[in-house]
Amino acid sequence: MNATAQAPTAALPHYNDSSLLRASDIFSTPRRRGVLPIGKTTFYRWVDQGLVPEGRKISGTPLWPYSAIRQLAEQDLQAQQAGGPPQ
């Protein structure tokens, strides 16, 4: 049996690039894996630092396009392999 390397986005949940995600879909908790392997505090810190774009509010709920979060997840994976925060 041969083990094959998976693409970085292979482990990401499958959403359409046009999907809008709530913050709770993006960050991870001890009981649930989100799109990014980070906690709530880190996610909002990245928003404040501009690493994540501001969410678009619909009915008062901030939502993020999956395409932007997927791109951030790919950058985060590359940064983890290099030993630093996402760029």
In a domain, 31, yes or no: yes
In a domain, 8, yes or no: no
In a domain, 1, yes or no: no
Domain of 60 in residue numbering reads as 17-82
In a domain, 12, yes or no: no
From CA 78, how far away is CA 75, in angstroms rounded?
Answer: 5
How many domains, the chain? 1
In a domain, 3, yes or no: no
Higher pLDDT, 34 or 78: 34
From CA 34, how far away is CA 39, in angstroms rounded?
Answer: 9
Mean pLDDT score, 6-26: 73
- Supply the pTM of this predicted model: 0.70
Per-residue pLDDT tens digits for 57-81: 999 999 999 998 988 888 766 776 7
**Percent of the chain surpassing pLDDT 90:** 40
CB 15 within 8 A of CB 64: no
In a domain, 58, yes or no: yes
